[in-house]
Amino acid sequence: MATFVDRVRLQVVGGSGGHGAASIRREKFKPLAGPDGADGGRGGDVILEVDASTTTLLEYHHKPHQRATSGGFGKGDMRHGARGEDLILPVPDGTVVSTEDGTVLADMVGIGTRFVAARGGSGGLGNAALSSPKRKAPGFALLGEPGQERTLVLELKSVADVALVGYPSAGKSSLIAAMSAARPKIADYPFTTLVPNLGVVEAGQHRYTIADVPGLIPGASEGKGLGLEFLRHIERCHVLVHVLDAAALESDRDPVSDLDTIEAELAAYASGLDEEAGARVPLMERPTVIVLNKTDLPDGADMADMVRERLGERDVPILDVSAVSRKGLRELSFLLGELVEQARAALPAPSAAPVVLTPEAVGEKDFEVVIEQYDGDTAFRVKGDKPERWVRQTDFRNDEAVGFLADRLAKLGVEDKLYAAGAVAGSTVLIGPGDDAVVFDWEPTMVGGAELLGRRGTDERLEDHHRPTREQKREEQKARTAARMDRLAAMEAERKAGHWADPAEEDGPR
């Protein structure tokens, strides 16, 4: 038998984006034809989806860490990296997704409902996307961003039409077994049922689901017994059924006192729910049925006769039933079916959720500089989405990429803010949150080694910056002519001075 788990702590991580490629196109007779490095692929998302065949969160109890696949790396010749595949995690209908501090993120009701639990990281840009008129051949590419990482709490609130509540051993599991095809564990000791049981009942044209809430005792709403752990399963029900043990063996118990105790616990628990109920009827105002169980026993029948008049003061239906002899079960199933149909008809028509557009705040700061202590010395931490994202995308092994980062930070105004905060050359600067920040000694107007490469982002082999004017060409021609005439005059002067020998005279007559 599969174990029922209705609350898990799940860590989800989106896929990382693939790195961009730094590549130069090469062709025959055209060795440097410009950049052709493509972008990396986006990482896959982690998505929760309501699945009809999933009834428990047991899978994530055993595997609390889930990660989507990463995007592929970009390649040369403009071959973009493949997008990472999304990871679809099936969850039961009625799963509530919240953060560790209790903030509700999604209430997943309805088959096919989806919630993106963790988004994949963006792929890095290749050098083809980074090229510009001033940076025609970038020798670097941007790195892919890591995927979103979150810790979520999944809590299952059963989507049942009818909820059975009552003391332990009141016979709730026996009723579900007798009215539906569910086969829960049944024994003659308290707290036999440790998890909610869910069954489907068909009564004529009526079809509805029924569930029990185990372990309700005095103080359940405060955490005693098992009640607080499973009271969440009554929040979505349409009808409440109080199952009272008419043949209880304890001398200090009777059906009326049991009912008062359970109602007090439900009221205490419901006090924090009605504000969040939305379109639902408040828990204590929903249709209620009182069931006197085990009336097939002589003591049970006598007790039912004794308390029926007192219970009748509540103006709710009261039925005598027996899960063993099946006494009154037909009447109970049809009554519950009618109440469920009435409750369903009273529900408002479902409407599509409005699309909410949240524009960015006008004048919002892109970053801020905070002064703090780091290793016993004063440091300046730069906080902001843009600087932190740019740092994650930078390959610090590439001098040109570091120089590109410096240009972006200077253009954003980071250097001006550092000056204003009191930073000087050599000050410790951190960019990023916590211990994952990048730490460096600040040098104003950082060059990053690009002085060895000419102008940043350029390739001297692809450009000829010297183009003489017509006047310069004319002057060069005159200079060459004058130099030639000077050489000829020098040679003639040497000849007349006798520095040159006549070959005919040197040979003489033979």
Q: Which CATH number do you get for residue 434?
A: 3.30.300.350
Confidence band for 61, pLDDT divided at 50, 70 and 90: confident
Confidence band for 301, pLDDT divided at 50, 70 and 90: confident
User: What is the edge-to-edge ordering of all strands in the sheet holding 288-293?
Assistant: 198-203, 206-212, 162-165, 239-245, 288-293, 318-320
* pLDDT of 349 strictly over 70: no
Region of 225 (left: φ > 0; alpha: ψ -120 to 50; beta: rest) is left
Q: What is the mean pLDDT of residues 394-417?
A: 88
Q: Does the annotation flag 295 for ligand binding?
A: yes
167 and 151 together in one domain: no
* Range with the poorest average pLDDT among 59-73, 242-256, 332-346: 242-256
73 and 104 together in one domain: yes
Cut 0.75: pTM above it: no
Of 311, 346, 381, which residue constitutes the final position of a domain?
Answer: 346
Average pLDDT, the chain: 79
Does 268 map to a domain? yes
149 and 231 together in one domain: no
Does 363 map to a domain? no
Of 156, 191, 220, which residue constitutes the final position of a domain?
Answer: 156
d(CA 360, CA 156): 35
Asked if 218 and 261 count as a contact pair (C-beta separation under 8 A), the reply is yes
Residue 436: CB atoms within 10 Å: 10
**pLDDT for the residue numbered 296:** 84
Q: Does the annotation flag 482 for ligand binding?
A: no
20 and 140 together in one domain: yes
* Range with the poorest average pLDDT among 138-142, 227-231, 380-384: 227-231
Does 358 map to a domain? no
**pLDDT for the residue numbered 295:** 86
80 and 11 together in one domain: yes
d(CA 392, CA 389): 5
Of 156, 185, 220, which residue constitutes the final position of a domain?
Answer: 156
**pLDDT for the residue numbered 149:** 94
Residue-wise pLDDT tens digits, 460-489: 544 555 667 888 888 888 898 999 899 888
Q: Does the annotation flag 215 for ligand binding?
A: yes
Q: How many CA atoms lie within 13 A of 359 on its CB side?
A: 3
94 and 171 together in one domain: no
Q: Which CATH number do you get for residue 11?
A: 2.70.210.12
* Range with the poorest average pLDDT among 33-37, 184-188, 351-355, 447-451: 447-451
* pLDDT of 364 strictly over 60: no
Q: Which two tokens stand for residue 454?
A: 């000419």
**pLDDT for the residue numbered 502:** 56
Q: Among 461, 467, 464, 465, which Cα is nearest to 137's?
A: 461
* H or E segment and range at residue 391: helix 385-392
**Amino acid at position 476, single letter:** E
Q: Does the annotation flag 302 for ligand binding?
A: no
Q: Does the annotation flag 293 for ligand binding?
A: yes
* Range with the poorest average pLDDT among 11-20, 50-59, 140-149, 277-286: 277-286
453 and 495 together in one domain: no
User: What is the edge-to-edge ordering of all strands in the sheet holding 95-99?
Assistant: 65-67, 7-13, 149-156, 95-99, 104-108
Domain that holds residue 292: 162-346
DSSP string, 429-473: EEESSGGG-EEEE--SS--TTGGGGSSTT--GGG-------HHHH
110 and 211 together in one domain: no
289 and 431 together in one domain: no
Q: Among 12, 286, 351, 261, which Cα is nearest to 149's?
A: 12
Q: Does the annotation flag 172 for ligand binding?
A: yes
Q: Does the annotation flag 459 for ligand binding?
A: no
Residue-wise pLDDT tens digits, 32-58: 778 999 999 999 999 999 988 887 788
Question: How many domains does one find in the chain?
Answer: 4
Distance of CA 268 to the CA centre of its chain: 34
Report the greatest alpha carbon distance in the chain.
Answer: 167
* Range with the poorest average pLDDT among 145-149, 204-208, 265-269, 314-318: 265-269
Q: Does the annotation flag 197 for ligand binding?
A: no
Residue-wise pLDDT tens digits, 135-180: 888 889 999 999 999 999 998 876 678 888 888 777 787 888 888 7
- Indicate the DSSP class of residue 420: H
DSSP string, 331-357: HHHHHHHHHHHHHHHHSPPP-PPPP--
Axis-axis angle for helices 298-312, 255-270 (nearest 10): 50
Axis-axis angle for helices 385-392, 399-412 (nearest 10): 170
* pLDDT of 410 strictly over 60: yes
Asked if 17 and 44 count as a contact pair (C-beta separation under 8 A), the reply is no
Q: What is the mean pLDDT of residues 307-320?
A: 86
**pLDDT for the residue numbered 193:** 45
152 and 172 together in one domain: no
Q: Does the annotation flag 168 for ligand binding?
A: yes
Confidence band for 79, pLDDT divided at 50, 70 and 90: very high
Residue 7: CB atoms within 10 Å: 14
Does 279 map to a domain? yes
Does 328 map to a domain? yes
Q: Does the annotation flag 212 for ligand binding?
A: yes
Q: Does the annotation flag 196 for ligand binding?
A: no
Q: Does the annotation flag 192 for ligand binding?
A: yes
Does 353 map to a domain? no
Q: Does the annotation flag 214 for ligand binding?
A: yes
* pLDDT of 503 strictly over 60: no
Does 53 map to a domain? yes
32 and 169 together in one domain: no
d(CA 206, CA 196): 22
Asked if 425 and 443 count as a contact pair (C-beta separation under 8 A), the reply is yes
Residue-wise pLDDT tens digits, 429-460: 888 877 778 888 888 764 444 434 445 555 45
Q: Does the annotation flag 122 for ligand binding?
A: no
Q: What are phi and psi of 228, to 5 degrees?
A: -60, -30
Q: Does the annotation flag 169 for ligand binding?
A: yes
316 and 209 together in one domain: yes
Q: Does the annotation flag 191 for ligand binding?
A: yes
* Range with the poorest average pLDDT among 206-220, 222-236, 364-378: 222-236
**pLDDT for the residue numbered 15:** 95
Q: Which CATH number do you get for residue 294?
A: 3.40.50.300
Which has the higher per-residue pLDDT, 1 or 8?
8
Does 116 map to a domain? yes
Q: Among 226, 178, 215, which Cα is nearest to 199's?
A: 178
Q: Does the annotation flag 211 for ligand binding?
A: no
Q: What is the mean pLDDT of residues 111-115?
A: 89
